[in-house]
Amino acid sequence: MSGPSHSLRSPLGRARGLGSAKEGLHHWWMQRLTSLALIPLAMWFVVSLIGLRQSDWEQYTLWISNPINATVMILFLGVTFHHAQSGMQVVLEDYVSSHGTRIASIVAVKFICYALAALSIVSVLIVAFGV
C-alpha cells in the first residue's frame, strides 16, 4: 500500500523502537545482557564445582555459608534461569508451528524455569542461613 518512505509511524515511535508488540528489543537485549553476565558466572560455577567434587554435606554447608559464595551462587542461578527461559522461548517460537502448542509450551517452560529458580535460591538461603 504505502512505500517504504511513507511510514505511518511517528518520529517519536521510531526513536523509541518499540514496534507493534510494544516491547522493542527488550527480549533480545536481556538475552545479550544475561549472556555477558554468565561468562564470569559460569566460569566461577565450574571452578566451584571442581573445588566441591569430593565434598560431603558438611563441607558444602561450610562453603555455601560464606556470604560471597552464597551471593555469587544466587546471582548465577537467577541469571541462568532467566537466560534459559528466554533462550528456550526463541527455540520454541522457531520450531513449534502450531500456535496453541507454541504458546502453551513457552508458558510451561517459563513457569518451570521460575519455579526451579525459586527452589534453588531458597535452598541456597536455607543452607547458608543454617535454618
Which residues of the chain form contacts with another protein (CB under 8 A)? 32, 35-36, 38-39, 42-43, 46, 50, 53, 56-58, 60-61, 64, 77, 80-81, 84, 87-88, 91, 109, 113, 116, 119-120, 122-124, 126-127
Nearest one of 73, 72, 90, 107 to 30, comparing CA atoms: 90
Distances in Å between the Cα of 3 and the Cα atoms of 6, 78, 97 are: 5, 45, 31
Q: Which helix (H) or strand (E) holds 127?
A: helix 99-129
Minimum Å gap between C-beta 22 and another protein is: 23
Minimum Å gap between C-beta 100 and another protein is: 21
Choice between 18 and 87, CB closer to another protein:
87
